[in-house]
A = this chain, B = another copy of it.
Amino acid sequence: MSWTVQDQSFDRERITTNGNKFMTGNGYMGYRGTLEEFGKEQLAAVTLAGVYDQAGGKWREPVNAPNGLFTRLSCNGQQLGVLNTEPERHTQELDIRSAVHKRETVYGLAGGGQLVFTAERFVSMDQLHLLAGKLSINSTVDCRIVIESGIDGDVWDINGPHLHARQEQFVEGVLRSSAVTGELGVSVSVAERTVFSFDAKETAGDSAIRVISFDAKAGETYEWFKFAAVYTGLDAGDNPALLAEQNVRAAEEAGYNRLLEAHRDAWEERWLQSDCMIEGDDAAQFALRYSIYQLLIIAPTGSEKVSIPARGLSGQVYKGAVFWDTEMFMLPFFLHSDPRTARNLLMYRIHTLEGARRKAAEYGFLGAFYAWESQDSGDDACTLFNVNDVFTGRPLRTYFRDKQVHISADVVHGIWQYVIFTGDDTLLTEGGAEVIWECARFFYSYAYYNPVKQRYEILDVTGPDEYHERVNNNAFTNALVKETLEVALKSAELLQAKFPEEFRKLTRQFVDGPFLKEFQTMLDSFYVPQPDSETLLIEQFDRYFQLEEVGLAELKSRVIHKNEYWGGGNGLATTTTILKQADVVLMLNLFKRSYSREVKQANWEFYEPRTEHGSSLSPCIYALVAADIGSPDWGYPYFMRTATVDLTGESKQYVGDLYIGGTHPAANGGAWMAAVLGFAGVQFDGKVLYIKPALPEQWNVVELPLILLGDSFRLRISRNEITVTAATGNRNALALIAFGGERQLCRPGVRLRLQLAGTITADEQQGAL
């Protein structure tokens, strides 16, 4: 089974999408899948997690570090780079098992003969600040080679420049490039060391580039190594430059191979925790693993101050901001496989509570209104004018920032899911409860009471379907607000029972209310749109059913300009029933145990043809609910579309002249959800693990590891048989309901086999996990 993504030719048209497809990273930084000689024009970027800067009154965005792996080659004065010399052969390759990127390029030389250039590199998963590369040339003729190797400080920025007062130094073979960001004065330092395994003359080149020249003999391979390290003032205190230098020297000392080995080991560990195997469908298997790979390279394993931006670490698109995507589309993967990283993601929300409080206050509300586009401080990076009108060139007023209030409920949902999955209530005492209560207070102040209908409602919001702004009683939003209120009450109950002293301390700030009493009052008469008794349909929001029924094809035929925005005040979809992405159906997925199969099916069938899938967050939800209603083959195409989005590059790359491409972590997480929570039918509610598979035709088995309440399991799920293996070190037996049958217990160190054959037979063995 292949673990390799490969391109066997060079195509200028694919430079941008390959930057995403061949991406590497380690959660501290992302390194786009560009070639060694590429610069900012080719969107080369080393994007740092959590370092943001604003320049020239434009939006804040993440900072790209100078590229310490930059290398350029020439032979007898001929520039050997794919942009200068059309290669005779070229492969670019990414091994997603070990996250090692390789290229091999064969150039025809101007004077005859060929030169093979290879480069291998990785962003160390073992040492998060480190980048390393191994490079070589081999020419069929004697020739003069010049290598430019160093740090490319001419970084790609959308709204730069961000790095100022740049200083470059050459200290005993180590290049150091340091600068500070303009807005917050954060130091960003990169050190680099190139080590040659042959004799060569080295001179200083431009800025932080060294120039090495030597006479290469025909047939001989010349190999060299590069080590680079990145530190910033946020993680390294006073002297990031020194730390970077030390890291590079230590790396040289260790040598490339040992570094690679440690990196591979770390990746092996990751895959052991998270690999999900599919038997019977190689294409799906590869796409799913690739999706998991994309999540692993951006997971903030080392910091609870950052979360995952909507485009991961693949650049500055969408301001490097964290959206609801993280809690709703990525978190489930981490909850099941890597609770520590899941915790980091949620701690990020706790650390940004003040920003959410400021936003609520700005709009005159109580509590915490989380940023629609969240960066380091939690203040909202989202502007009121997010899109330009293609017809007039004027900025369009959109309501992402002020009306997508569900973000606060999404955060609460994430926190509570963490508690459910881990049983770790320290997250609550360390700020989680405060976040939950502040979000509930926000909704209490956002809600209105309808005196005639005698119920609380949530008015004037934008739900997941962003084409319909400023609607009342969006079913998704209301259902999540209800959950927020319930979680606020449950978490209070939990803390009061378990940590009464802590509870008193934590709640001191809320004594004047509104607090639990008011939450309960609101909950007692809170309105969540319900399925119609005849049609079983849930109306997406008040009066949605009154909108024009137009059909997607007809709507598309009305398009005048291919980049026109379908939402906003005058958007084509705004006055119709066409939706951007799953909305009601997403809610049915989140609260799947509260709705009948018939309701889910009716709504799937109604809403899917009306869904544009204009967001990469959309198709996976239709796959999930299709599986849930026992129609996995309806869902399969949506799963494949989701799981391959970053492989095919078939997504919007530009709006006007603005690059909006990058990786799609929410889709990556969505692919995982569709496979595991959808087709494999895995669901955990904090007490019982439900497994009700609905495998697509081609799939025979899904197998995966799982961590629940701190205990480890391995699931092997086929159409008729489920095997659950509990690790010997587990502390508790796991309650389990398979195929909708009887409750079983899976005790530590036991393998349980459950078959679907009239009755379920449980076959218990001592396990091997």
Contacts and interface: CB of A to CB of B under 8 A. Distances in A.
Interface stretch (A199-207, A451-459, A731-739): A451-459
22 contacts: A366-B452, A384-B575, A385-B575, A389-B570, A391-B392, A394-B558, A397-B570, A397-B574, A445-B452, A447-B451, A448-B448, A448-B449, A448-B451, A448-B457, A449-B450, A449-B451, A451-B456, A459-B460, A460-B460, A460-B472, A569-B571, A570-B570
Contacts of A444: 451-452
A459 B471 CA distance: 12
Contacts of A459: 448, 459-460
A469 to B, nearest CB: 9
A493 interface: no
Contacts of A568: 569-570
B570 A574 contact: no
Q: 9 closest A-B pairs (Cβ-Cβ)?
A: A569-B569, A448-B448, A449-B449, A391-B391, A445-B452, A569-B570, A397-B575, A570-B570, A449-B451
A553 interface: no
A470 interface: yes
A296 interface: no
Contact of A392 (B450, B460, B560): B560
Given A391-B391, A445-B452, 13 more contacts: A364-B542, A392-B560, A392-B570, A397-B569, A397-B574, A397-B575, A444-B451, A448-B459, A451-B514, A568-B569, A568-B570, A569-B569, A569-B571
Nearest to A514: B452
A381 B660 CA distance: 44
Contacts of A397: 569-570, 574-575
Interface in A439-486: 444-445, 447-452, 456-457, 459-460, 470, 472
Interface residues on A, range: 35 or more
A396 B450 CA distance: 30
Contact of A448 (B450, B514, B518): B450
A412 interface: no
A556 to B, nearest CB: 15
A364 B542 CA distance: 10
A577 to B, nearest CB: 14
Contacts of A569: 397, 568-571, 574
A571 B472 CA distance: 23
Nearest to A396: B570
A621 interface: no
A522 interface: yes
Interface string A351-366: 0000000000000101
Interface string A551-581: 0000000101000000011110011000000
Contacts of A451: 444-445, 447-449, 456, 514, 518, 522
Interface of A: 364, 366, 384-385, 389, 391-392, 394, 396-397, 444-445, 447-452, 456-457, 459-460, 470, 472, 514, 518, 522, 542, 558, 560, 568-571, 574-575
Nearest to A441: B452
A282 to B, nearest CB: 47
Contacts of A460: 459-460, 472
A15 B569 CA distance: 38
A656 to B, nearest CB: 16
Contacts of A514: 451-452
A560 B389 CA distance: 13
A576 to B, nearest CB: 11
A470 to B, nearest CB: 7
A516 to B, nearest CB: 14
A366 B397 CA distance: 33
A251 B343 CA distance: 95
A449 to B, nearest CB: 4
A360 to B, nearest CB: 12
Contacts of A392: 391, 560, 570
Contacts of A445: 451-452
A570 B396 CA distance: 6
A294 B451 CA distance: 45
Contacts of A389: 570
A460 B457 CA distance: 14
A733 B752 CA distance: 101
A7 B397 CA distance: 49
A128 B449 CA distance: 53
Contacts of A571: 569
A575 B399 CA distance: 12
A394 B559 CA distance: 11
A574 B568 CA distance: 13
Nearest to A385: B575
Contacts of A452: 366, 444-445, 514
Contacts of A518: 451
Nearest to A393: B560
Nearest to A384: B575
Nearest to A365: B452
